[in-house]
Structure 1
């Protein structure tokens, strides 16, 4: 009787966990642009709270969405890359990268040019990842587009008058949308019957999340304020105010000219940001963030700017430019004021240039409209003081006097730029997985840079343009203390401290010479076997793991231990959370190391199966061509579930011992589940 009850409990728990999730529904249609050019439009409807990752999610993070156009050879060519609509951008502190994803809806468009007029259909295979809090699933799908005959029957160039109760509206229809399910005969009938479909194909601009753009704006605003406090800009405030007060006939005219002057400064820098976005392209800028050579070039640029700020040389534009612009400033009116603002930009370039360059580099790596937004923030901070002091000259009395402190600000910016430069060098190293700039070396570099900055602020280091100091100002002392505290904060990172304040800047803990921290010794490893079993790998936290089910099962029989079957993914966020925050705990790690045989099956592995092992899934009808496809199909077929993470405890013959569980962040709950499996194995 007890066995029967246990069997029923196991059955019901299995049924409760058996669930094939399908949170993304796809619809397709075709828009004919000419006799041979078509737009393949793919729209996804995403269930509430789920999110589908973009094609442009950076490497090292969640899985990117990929489109494969199966029968392109000798039939059609792709014109450009697949475009996508608006996505969100959020920092992922597990993978320590930004992740780009869609919620509710996603829109994709691929332009093709047909080269085979007899082509009847186009097949597209997509592979990606869709997640919700607690689980992720592989989003694999096959889409088919039915093509019309390649003749002019679809192209409609006529004016159709639509009569309404209020007025006659004349609408020109240039293109008709074709649902992929329609046949050529149906399309002909649709044309003959004069059924006219409204055509609205809107390519939504790639949209950075508002929070990200506000961050760029705020940082750029601080950069503009910092530029204001440099030796090239700050002394020009009283000169500019004096000019407007003396040249203006009335106070009202002076205020108007001051406002125009500020607007001109903003226009000049926004134009610069617009040019950068236009030259590179908003979409292309996004891709630069993961390009090795661009990151190396950015590193070199920032080191160059930092060296200038530290006093080795000055970056100046030709004097002839300033002279020509200065002459134009005498013309008066708005044009003269505009050239005055341009003269300020040129004359102050030795101080503002490195800051503007750094902001553009950082904004460019974010892509989209970030360079323009960054220049709005920078120029606004730069322009406001000129405007306000010209409008209210009496405020000038509250300004501090120029002096050596301006060079201190400039040098401090040099130290900051030098530190930031190594972030871009780290990006390049992470992309190629070169392991030249691992976490320890990165932190040592930052500790040295910020330590040198602290010594400079304390007056222990002198640089070329510094004036002798007899005492420290209170402000400089506070800044020196703050930088010293930050330097000391970095040091424990060498011993494995997470350093959450700078999360995302240094390489992740897994990308280091010693993943557990310098000098760390894991006592639980004492007495562990020195060599791995055949076919085994070192998994998370040193756990022995198998990546093939049959190989792991054979080892479990050999050693007489139960199996922890782990359906996981390389790009699965929740899988990493379980490994980082549950598996790593003292309650769980000894159990996984000593009591179980871990078999981790990666459902997103791109390794291609040998041709003779590829097949069509009887369960889903999908092509199984990769190792990841194989394990995903195995999970669906055996457990009627396609979510990750997904854990099952088996005996050494491969039979289930307990109910299956998914994402279980509660350590005690997960431990209880593991112990239930151990007890069931012993019976």
Structure 2
């Protein structure tokens, strides 16, 4: 039924696409190879136009649509011997869907062996449905008829004399397709369906401007992960478990090595070993869960709740409640291996460092992996590389310049202060994960005011600690605080005071995206009923007051109907309750007066939350023809719509369409540049008025 539905969709949609010009970038020929009186090999040869790609039947779900091969009249006529064999395919990573895709360029070949039944009519009908892409994607299809008795085959482009139900199942012997003439080939209703949508990543085609921007943003995201991880590595260096080991380890290398050069070489090998160990950890996380699954975890309720608990445990450990340690037997076994010497011994020394320092580095690495995992892709690997590079650099540098060791501050109570400081940060971050779960479930237990109150309490307590007013279990007694600690305490106190007006509706753009939005609060319009944000017009039926007081729909059909009624373009906002960049756009970009004016007066806004977990009525649930997934929730429905229509699954994602649902300009994703986003809005509105 799924294949029949796809075939029906392709045939019916031709009438709407023919006016735009139907393209067939793939030209097919076929032949028969006889193996015996009962076994034959059906051969399909394809020639693909330059710069186009046709996707394999084995390309994984989540990316381009795989080829579907349907053997129509198989029952009682013939059986298949093995699977359909393919010629060699190319492999490329699609950075939009974050999956490897398999495809052909230039030429392709399929082979299928069939075995005839005793009473067979010796006619085999095969339908190929496939996707071929360049800048746009085309769903094309071809019907082949193989007459094994005559050893003849032909491609049938005209379906008009064959009932659809017959093609989808088993046609009676008398239902023979009509071979197309040259005129029929142009005029006939065939299976082509042209989709004017962005294509999956094409390695041979010239990249367009949007693809270049997407690639640049992807690189920026990985750079951010690397930078944060690098700073986290330096923070780990300043903990009591790691810092004292720098002079000890460097001294070991310089004393045990036969020459200064050998000591430097061994220390560099040691540093590289540290990097290898942590990068392998990041690779292991990516390999076990997969890039696509990691990306989906960011809005998974169980994931967020588990890591809320995990970060609370990490925070308590850093604050001094207990120590998180791996079994001593592990450290002892690794330490014995380190005595072997050579590169293997140095590698085990690096592993011993990772195990011994786990009580301090574990919480930092765990937090970093959680954040990187929510980004998906190579983020865990890049994160571990940045972290381990910062961790390894001091060992390498001090081995090269041993005199620098004299300039290192002595170990002492300040190391525990750093550890406690990190514990407070872990505690604050933990509530972001709890907030994500609450937002996705729409429970309203941790609304904006509650979240901010918790952060004010956490950072207020941290300020008191920095001023020496609060003592933790492992702090050393002291009668004064250093100037550095005082300055850092003042910075934390200033941040705490900055948070307080947020309880009364202040936007708090500095932490935009971390707390829930203003609309997810006890007082959506601020304390006393007004936050300075007002809705420009009376709310239409089915709409609510959205971000910045903009009238927003959450039902696509209602929004489209209202856009037609008011003769305005429709702004589709693919978003998520737990999407940080979505909140940043709403708080920092949509708040600009010029943009706010356009959103209030010139467009109709519909916000489609792809992580909305409310289930659809059973009658509205379906299996996606694009991904093959069961669409059960409202969020699933909007996510499937985004993938099906726009070939992307990232949020935020903005599309401006006219009343016929045609794109007015190129859709955009996260665009923090106010001028760039304003120009994009104005361009779409101007195109609509034309």
Does the alignment reach a TM-score above 0.5? Answer: yes
Partner deviation per Cα, 1:595-646 (whole Å, 9 max, x = no partner): xxx99586989999x99xxxxxxxxxxxxxx9999xx9xx99978965389x
In the aligned structure 1, how far is the partner of 2:290 from the partner of 2:49? Answer: 24
Find the counterpart in structure 2 of residue 461 from structure 1. Answer: 470
Using the alignment, how far apart are the partners of 2:480 and 2:103 within structure 1? 65
Gaps of 5+ in 2: 1-19, 31-40, 53-60, 75-82, 84-90, 105-109, 115-123, 152-178, 183-200, 206-213, 576-581, 611-615, 621-636, 646-655, 667-677
| Structure 2 residue matching 1:232: 3-state secondary structure | coil
Asked if 2 retains the 8 angstrom alpha-carbon contact of 1:439 and 1:506, the reply is: yes
Q: Which residue of 2 aligns with 1:144?
A: 140
Residue of 269, 273, 293 corresponding to 1:284: 293
- Write the distance in 2 (CA, Å) between the matches of 1:235 and 1:295: 35
User: Does 1:478 pair with 2:473?
Assistant: no
The match for 2:406 among 381, 387, 397 is: 397
Q: Which residue of 2 aligns with 1:310?
A: 319
2:129 corresponds in structure 1 to 122
CA distance in 2, matches of 1:395, 1:512: 53
Change (3 A) 1:454 1:327: same
Shift in Å, 1:37: 13
Correspondence 1:324 to 2:345: no
State the shift of 1:240 in Å.
Answer: 1.3
The answer (yes or no) to whether the contact 2:568–2:658 under 8 Å persists in 1 is: no
Aligned to 1:373: 382
CA contact 2:590–2:596 (8 Å) conserved in 1: no
Q: Which residue of 1 aligns with 2:503?
A: 494
- Gap change, CA 1:578 and 1:453, over 3 Å in 2: closer
Contact 1:317–1:349 under 8 Å retained in 2: yes
Query: Are 1:512 and 2:521 counterparts?
Result: yes
Distance 1:121 1:518, change over 3 A: farther
Provide the rounded CA distance (Å) in 2 between the counterparts of 1:107 and 1:430.
Answer: 34
Partner of 1:350: 359
Contact 2:525 2:533 in 1 (8 A): no
Q: Deviations over 1:521-578 (max 9, x none)?
A: 379989x99xx89x5644553769997699979xxxxxxxx97433324426999899
Q: 2:95 matched to which residue of 1?
A: 87
Instruction: Evaluate the alpha carbon distance shift between residue 123 and residue 335 of structure 1 in structure 2; reply closer, same or farther with a 3 A threshold.
Output: closer
1:567 to 550, 566, 569: 569
Query: Deviation per CA, 1:253-308, whole angstroms, max 9, x where unpaired?
Result: 21121111111111111121121121112232222222221122222211111111
User: Taking structure 1 as reference, are residues 222 and 147 closer, same or farther at Cα in structure 2, changes over 3 Å only?
Assistant: farther
Q: 1:321 to 1:435 in 2, by over 3 A?
A: same
Any stretches of 5+ residues in structure 1 without a counterpart?
A: 1-21, 47-54, 57-64, 78-82, 89-99, 131-138, 154-182, 187-199, 554-561, 593-597, 612-625, 646-660, 675-683
1:451 paired with 2:460, answer yes
Deviation at 1:107, TM superposition (A): 7.7
Cα gap change, 1:236/1:580 in structure 2, threshold over 3 Å: closer, same or farther? Answer: closer
2:347 match: secondary structure? helix
| Cα distance in 1, alignment partners of residues 258 and 147 from structure 2 | 72
Residue equivalent to 1:220: 229
Give the secondary structure class of the aligned counterpart of 2:573: coil
2:651 pairs with 1:643: no
How far is the alpha carbon of 1:478 from its aligned partner? 0.9
* Larger displacement relative to structure 2 (499-508 or 329-338): 499-508
Is contact 2:448–2:518 with CA below 8 Å preserved after alignment? yes
Summarize the Cα distance change of 1:436–1:637 in structure 2 as closer, same or farther, 3 Å threshold. Answer: closer
Q: Secondary structure at the match of 2:567?
A: strand
Task: Classify the secondary structure of the residue corresponding to 1:122.
Answer: strand
Alpha-carbon distance in structure 2 between the residues aligned to 1:380 and 1:289:
26
Give, in whole Å, the separation in 1 of the partners of 2:477 and 2:551: 59
CA shift, 1:424, in A, is 1.9
- CA distance in structure 2 between the partners assigned to 1:327 and 1:458 by the alignment: 44
Looking at structure 1, the residues matched to 442 and 436 of structure 2 have their Cα atoms a distance apart, in angstroms, of 10
In structure 2, do the counterparts of structure 1 residues 422 and 602 end up closer, same or farther at CA, with 3 Å as the change threshold?
closer
Structure 2: how far apart are the matches of 1:69 and 1:571?
31
How many Å separate the matches in 1 of 2:451 and 2:472? 25
Question: What's the TM-score, normalizing by structure 1?
Answer: 0.59
Residue 423 and residue 320 in structure 1: after superposition, are their counterparts in 2 closer, same or farther (change >3 A)? same
Change in CA separation of 1:144 and 1:499 when aligned onto 2, cut-off 3 Å = same
Tell me if 1:237 matches 2:239: no
- How far does residue 318 in structure 1 lie from its aligned partner after superposition? 1.1
Tell me which residue corresponds to 1:426.
Answer: 435
Contact 1:440 1:512 in 2 (8 A): yes
Distance in 1 separating the partners of 2:665 and 2:377: 32
Q: For 1:324 and 1:496, how far apart are their aligned partners in 2?
A: 57
Pair 1:362 & 2:350 matched: no
Summarize the Cα distance change of 1:114–1:409 in structure 2 as closer, same or farther, 3 Å threshold: farther
Contact 1:28 1:145 in 2 (8 A): no
Cα deviation digits, residues 427-457 of structure 1 (max 9, x gap):
2223333333222222222111111111111
CA distance in 2, matches of 1:31, 1:449: 70
Q: CA deviation at 1:403?
A: 0.6
Q: Give the match for residue 276 of structure 2.
A: 267
Residues 5-24 of structure 1: per-residue CA shift (max 9 Å, x gap) = xxxxxxxxxxxxxxxxx9xx
- With normalisation by structure 2, the TM-score equals 0.59
Distance change >3 Å, CA 461–CA 43, structure 1 → 2: farther
Q: CA RMSD in A?
A: 5.9
Mapping 1:626-665, distance limit 5 Å: 642-643=663-664
Q: SS state of the match for residue 643, structure 1? A: coil
What do the CA deviations read for 1:377-405 (whole angstroms, capped 9, x no partner)? 11111111112222322111101011110
Partner of 1:135: none
Instruction: Identify the structure with bigger relative contact order (alpha carbons < 8 Å, sequence gap 6+).
Output: 1
Distance in 1 separating the partners of 2:318 and 2:29: 55
Is the 1:269–1:375 contact (alpha carbons within 8 Å) kept by the matching residues of 2?
yes
Q: Which whole-Å CA distance do the structure 2 matches of 1:381 and 1:447 have between them?
A: 31
Deviation at 1:124, TM superposition (A): 8.0
For residue 145 of structure 1, give the secondary structure of its aligned residue in structure 2.
strand
The alignment covers a number of residue pairs equal to 505
1:339 to 317, 330, 348: 348
Three-state SS of the structure 1 residue aligned to 2:569 is strand
Report deviation, 1:350. Answer: 0.7
Q: In 2 relative to 1, CA 377–44 (structure 1 residues): closer, same or farther, beyond 3 Å?
A: farther
Q: Distance in 2 between matches of 1:270 and 1:108?
A: 27
* Alpha-carbon contact 1:308-1:315 (below 8 Å) kept: yes
Task: Assess if the C-alpha contact under 8 Å between 2:299 and 2:437 holds in 1.
Answer: yes
How far the C-alpha of 1:497 sits from its partner, in A, is 2.7
d(CA) in 2 for partners of 1:218, 1:637: 41
Distance of 1:37 and 1:443 partners within structure 2: 66
Judged with a 3 Å threshold, the aligned counterparts in structure 2 of structure 1 residues 261 and 119 are, in CA distance, closer, same or farther, namely same
